[in-house]
Amino acid sequence: MPEPYENPNEAVAPTGAGGAMDLAAGEARSLTAPERPASPVPGEPGITAPEGTGAPAGPAPGEPGGRPRSLRTDAWHQLRRNPVFLLSALLILFLVLISLWPQLIAGGDPLRCDLERSQEGSAPGHPFGYDTQGCDVYTRTVYGARASLTVGICATVGAALLGGLLGGAAGFFGGWWDALLSRIADVFFGIPVVLGGLVFLSVVTSDTVWPVVGFIVLLGWPQVARIARGSVLTAKEHDYVQAARALGAGPGRTLLRHVAPNAVAPVIVVATIALGTYIALEATLSFLGVGLRPPTVSWGIDISNAAPQIRNAPHMLLWPAGALSVTVLAFIMLGDAVRDALDPKLA
Amino acid sequence: MRRARPGPRAVRAVVAALPVLALLTGAAACGGGGNDRGRGPDAIVSSSWGDPQNPLEPANTNEVQGGKVLDMVFRGLKRYDPRTGAAQDMVAERIDTTDSRTFTITLKAGWRFSNGEPVTARSFTDAWNYAAHVDNKQNNSAFFSDIAGYEEVHPESGAARARSLSGLRVRDARTFAVTLKEPFAIWPQTLGYQAFMPLPRAFFEDHDAWLDKPVGNGPYAVRSYTKGGGMKLRRWDGYRGPDKARNGGIDLIVYTDNNTAYTDLLAGNLDLVDDVPAQQLKHVEKDLGDRYVNQPALITQTLVFPFYQRAWTRPGMEKVRRGLSMAIDRKRITEKIFMRTRTPASDWTSQALGAPGGWTDLCGDACVYDPARAKRLIAEGGGLPGGRVTLTSNVDTGSHRAWMDAVCNSVNNALGRGPVCTVDPVGTFADFRNRTTTYKLTGPFRSGWQADYPLIQNFLEPLYSTGGSSNYGKFSDKAFDALLDRANREADPAVAVRHYQAAERLLAERMPAIPLWYQNGSAGWSERVSGVTLNQFSVPVYDRIAVA
Amino acid sequence: MGRHVIRRLLQMIPVFIGSTFLIFLLVYALGDPVAALFGDKAPDPATAARIRQDLHLDQPLWRQYLHYMAQIFRGDFGTAFNGRPVLELMADAFPVTLRLTLVAVAVEVVAGIAFGVISGLRRGRPLDTGLLVLTLVVVSVPTFVSGYLLQFLLGVKWGWVRPSVSFDATFAELLLPGVVLALVSLAYVTRLTRTAVAENARADYVRTAVAKGLPRRRVVTHHILRNSLIPVVTFIGADVGALMGGAIVTERIFNIHGVGYQLYQGILRNNAPTVVGFVTVLVIVFLLANLLVDLGYAVLDPRIRHA
């Protein structure tokens, strides 16, 4: 199962304690702190973080500040008190739970369909109504979470990592490395999704979601790479980066410690929205006959089946699309919270 | 959390940008189209169209969109009555034969092409020689393979050894003789197909110019043709046939999607949409009232078994094939998925043939939903190969995905053993065709068949005879072949039909393909036009449309 | 600067060769197109063989590719199956799609940046939340549905616009399709702008500018916006190409005979000349858009130099 918390942690990870960055962060804090009101909702110290986030958190948050806390510790400390983060974490936890055990909240069989009830509205025991094939929309929406979340999260993490790393490197190192990577991205960008999907996914077939995930990563990384490259280009011109260089920091250290944390925000923004569009892209691929195949149940398949029927049976679209919205909302909120926590000026 | 809070002015600056957007979108409002195509007998009818897939040569056109134009611009020796499908003489005055092998064809006098050229015997023989010759790469060349000398102009491989078909001989300006390779009594009735249309000299002399603006001998002449965009056809007043156009002309407009054409019809920008898309069918009556037609066409859909796979042909499998057929709830699927634009099939031909044409319910019980018997039959026959069945079809057009899901659900519900039936969607028609024509399928696959001419023979011989041109399941039965041969030689049409039906009865026994449903043609039209009907090929009969 | 542009233009040559070959390979992998030309009927072997020979489909892939490239250098992009030269198809389709893209990009720029600035400056306020909800709707409702609904409501129910686009596809007709096409990108642009604006609004130089007594409007446009635009411009630059080639659904709904439609037809019918020709031009568009974006960086942030 995908770990939804991996993504933000990856973004946090490179910004560990150290050197000039901490100095800069500390300085920013000292400048802004007095003007900043206390956290809007006082964090409850008793609350334990949802599992998965805790592990890499470094030193205990409550550690008395004898020395400036590292950015990572600081971020984590702040996240725990952020209601937006807590809400999104709860939502995601819920989604993960129903992906693992859909039968917890849905008793039916998503593949059991009675054509006689085709497109009927809600009925007792079937609150969301029926789809064209007469399957229960509620059961299918619940069961669809697994495939859709797996595709969405894995593809997003994959595209963000691959695109972020390659694009970041291109922007940072420049020169022939940039030229090569950017031009490869151009070629990949040029491949129409339909063509690539029909070819790639009819060659690599399997009953699992992985070919679809792989394909989306393959087509999605150039977009992230462009964004990452652009923001690295800006970030590396900042004074503190120049300062770090002047102080003798090597390129690797400069990139990881100073440039990346300041360039990561746009990547997070694009990734959180891309999560939604990737889940929807899976629908397009299914529609073309090369995406996930039955008996797999996914929101994408249901959305693409419901879309043409929008005038006849809007409820068919409403529920899977609503579930997709909630998922995207959770990840956008998570992305916002993580980004805020990462921003030293806000801390 | 402190933020640098910009004053109201800054926000106002941004908000000021919004009206620009509103203005941009609002400006689109003036794009609405008026209805200024006139009234009365000279009024123009606008109709939806799709880009023809091939150049508009008669012998190269094998789909409905190109067929629409050819049906307006050309008249052949015979024409199928739009309602009954009976082949009636059109340009032909009479077609004589004594041995069902050599036919003497006499043309009516006075017919002309719209550029003034007379329609002569040569107009036909030149067109047919062109169509048959391998160098011209015409899709429909196989329609001429019954004529003597076809192998010379169209060898299986290598260059042609002759310029023209030896079986065609011009006697005089209005008479020519056709010799077939072997007797084929109903051959004259195939002559209504568009591949047999006559062509003017202009076609051969300046081929490119002709393709830009086709010239024919039909009730309409092409005024202008914007490739990819549309075609304007106008009534040709020099037309000699009995079916003169009752309107001033037809504007065909290419739509990227029939849903859009339908929306344009509702908005009053279009007069006629044929082939109303499946998702609109549920509310078509609310939208159009009685301005909608849904009538049988010569199209049938089947699920063909791959007889080249041992697993589907070993003894006992005929019971399994029959059982599968009985596990499909055709009635409910045609009602719920197709909104009654399909009719549950009861044989391997088409309802549109009518009883005199040979349509009966020869499939009998095997085409009636009976889950209990289906389950028993499949068990008796030794079960599905490997306990599973996979249906294959392309999903890029039609509602193939939806009905395949429904068929599988029906089978699964009938057998009650979880998902034993699964769907294998293929992304493109081209890919699907390659799999069928190279015999790579392992389970039942979709076969859609639109007849070229309204004859029962056309539903049987190409599809199920040994080595038949479209026999993709490689079904083979000597008795079936013999009965077809006998029927083909029979001069009396009524007797021939009985022989064809006897052959079809063998299909019911062996079930090489599961009949699913007969496909209807559908059309919706605007309030200003009337008299819209479809012919048996689901093409609107344009010449009968009147504008009130 | 000049050298940078020349170098970038020279880089197009290998990209051109690489991408044409890649697309050629992909179309080749789709399989033989000839069987589908005959519809549901069996392909006549002799005719099919002749068509294959004429299209050079009977030769190995590398020879087909060399032949195709030789053709291109003679200015011949081949012929589609309906007998029309691909060059003619491109001449019809690209101007239409270009207009559609311009409308979409204009919507993205004007509305996306405006929304982004508003919600960035008003973080957490109802307006910001409202825009977030809109973003969610746009991301989770497929273009097919939003396009169809807008077309039905504006075109049929209320009769404000003509629901379909005529063959000439004027700017006025393309406004609604342009908005529909821009919707998903609008979500990205809004969120990207919002994030950058929110971040920059807290920057020291903004505080300095405010302290200096500069008018708010000037602070927003000159200081905040200019420094927030790099990710936005990057995104839009990358999006131009995606909009041009990826408008398949929008073009279908609104009856636009553009690049997406032609490309889709070409792919469905495995027509190599159409697909390779169109994609090649699209890749060139990507390269140019990308070059412009890179030059735009230097304008937005003078510290970024292109040697």
Domains assigned to chain A = 75-346 (1.10.3720.10)
- Alpha-carbon distances of C67 from A269, B155, C64, C85, rounded to whole Å: 45, 28, 5, 16
Residue type (1 letter), C258: G
Residues of B in contact with A312 (CB under 8 A): 279, 282-283
Q: Nearest Cα to B417, choosing from B384, B445, B370?
A: B384
Look at residue A131 and tell me whether its pLDDT is greater than 60. Answer: yes
Q: Do the chains contact at C161 and B29, CB–CB below 8 Å?
A: yes
> Which carries the bigger pLDDT value, residue A54 or residue A267?
A267
Subunits next to B (3 or more Cβ pairs <8 Å) are A, C
C-beta of residue A145 within 8 angstroms of C-beta of residue A323: yes
Q: What is the pLDDT of residue A67?
A: 56
Q: Is A321 on the interface with C (CB under 8 A)?
A: yes
First to last CA, chain B: 72
Q: Do the chains contact at A195 and C267, CB–CB below 8 Å?
A: yes
Q: What is the pLDDT of residue B372?
A: 94
| Distance in angstroms (rounded) separating the CA atoms of residues B79 and B196 | 11
Largest CA distance in chain B: 103
Over chain B, what is the mean pLDDT? 88
Q: Please confirm whether the linkage preceding C142 is cis (ω < 30° from 0).
A: no
Nearest to C41 among B33, B62, B264 (CB): B62
**What average pLDDT does the segment B347-376 reach?**
91
C-beta of residue B195 within 8 angstroms of C-beta of residue C39: no
Q: Which residues contact C27 (CB under 8 A, 6 or more apart)?
A: A195, C267, C270, C271, C272, C275, C276
Work out the pLDDT band at A54, boundaries 50, 70, 90.
very low
State the CB neighbour count (10 A cutoff) for residue B155: 14
Q: Is A124 on the interface with B (CB under 8 A)?
A: no
First to last CA, chain A: 32
| Distance in angstroms (rounded) separating the CA atoms of residues C171 and A146 | 44
For B79-112, the pLDDT digits (tens) are: 999 888 889 999 999 999 998 899 999 999 999 9
Residues above pLDDT 90, as percent of chain B: 62
Mutate to test the interface with A, among C119, C139, C250 (most CBs of A within 10 A): C139
> Which carries the bigger pLDDT value, residue C238 or residue A144?
A144
- Per DSSP (E only), the strands in B333-450 are 342-344, 389-394, 421-426, 445-450
Angle at B162 between CA B159 and CA B168, to 5 degrees: 140
Q: What is the pLDDT of residue A10?
A: 32
For A268-314, the pLDDT digits (tens) are: 888 888 888 888 888 778 877 788 877 788 888 888 888 888 888 88
Segment among A39-53, C183-197, C289-303 with least mean pLDDT: A39-53
For C201-237, the pLDDT digits (tens) are: 888 888 888 888 888 888 888 888 888 888 888 888 8
Look at residue A31 and tell me whether its pLDDT is greater than 60. Answer: no
Residues above pLDDT 90, as percent of chain A: 16
Residue type (1 letter), B42: D
In this structure, what token pair is assigned to residue B423?
Answer: 């769907």
Query: C 188-217 residues with CB below 8 A of A?
Result: 188, 191-192, 195-196, 199, 202-204
Angle at A82 between CA A78 and CA A88, to 5 degrees: 125
In this structure, what token pair is assigned to residue B499?
Answer: 């022989």
| Distance in angstroms (rounded) separating the CA atoms of residues B6 and B150 | 85
Segment among B13-22, B39-48, B352-361 with least mean pLDDT: B13-22
Residues above pLDDT 90, as percent of chain C: 12
**What average pLDDT does the segment B269-292 reach?**
90
Look at residue B139 and tell me whether its pLDDT is greater than 60. Answer: yes
Q: Which residue of B has its CA nearest to A120?
A: B336
Q: Do the chains contact at C199 and A190, CB–CB below 8 Å?
A: no
Q: What is the pLDDT of residue B342?
A: 92
| Pairing assessment for the beta strands B421-426 and B389-394 based on DSSP bridges | parallel
Type and span of the H or E element at B104:
strand B102-107
Q: Do the chains contact at C160 and B450, CB–CB below 8 Å?
A: no
| Distance in angstroms (rounded) separating the CA atoms of residues A216 and C290 | 22
Query: A 305-324 residues with CB below 8 A of B?
Result: 305, 308-309, 311-312
Residue A136 has phi, psi (to 5 degrees) of: -75, 120
State the CB neighbour count (10 A cutoff) for residue A135: 27
Q: What is the pLDDT of residue A199?
A: 82
Over chain C, what is the mean pLDDT? 85
Can you give the residue ranges of every domain in chain B?
Answer: 33-266+523-547, 295-521
C-beta of residue B56 within 8 angstroms of C-beta of residue B211: yes
Q: Nearest Cα to B149, choosing from B165, B135, B133?
A: B165
**What average pLDDT does the segment B14-33 reach?**
40
| Pairing assessment for the beta strands B513-525 and B292-304 based on DSSP bridges | antiparallel
Question: Is CATH 3.40.190.10 the classification given to domain B33-266+523-547?
Answer: yes
Work out the pLDDT band at B30, boundaries 50, 70, 90.
very low
Type and span of the H or E element at C206:
helix C204-212
**Domain B295-521 class?**
alpha beta
Q: Is A204 on the interface with C (CB under 8 A)?
A: no
Nearest to C151 among B6, B263, B428 (CB): B263
Look at residue B490 and tell me whether its pLDDT is greater than 80. Answer: yes
Residues of B in contact with C58 (CB under 8 A): none
Q: Do the chains contact at A305 and B394, CB–CB below 8 Å?
A: no
| Distance in angstroms (rounded) separating the CA atoms of residues B31 and B38 | 20
Work out the pLDDT band at A41, boundaries 50, 70, 90.
very low
For B164-213, the pLDDT digits (tens) are: 999 999 999 999 999 999 888 889 999 999 999 999 999 999 999 999 99
Nearest to C290 among A182, A304, A322 (CB): A182
Q: Is B53 on the interface with C (CB under 8 A)?
A: yes
| Distance in angstroms (rounded) separating the CA atoms of residues B476 and B474 | 6
* Angstroms from C24 CA to nearest CA on chain B: 17
**What average pLDDT does the segment B43-72 reach?**
90
| Distance in angstroms (rounded) separating the CA atoms of residues A188 and C129 | 35
Q: Is C293 on the interface with A (CB under 8 A)?
A: yes
Q: Do the chains contact at B63 and C39, CB–CB below 8 Å?
A: yes
Phi-psi map region of A306: left, alpha, beta (phi>0 left; psi -120 to 50 alpha): alpha
Residue type (1 letter), C152: F
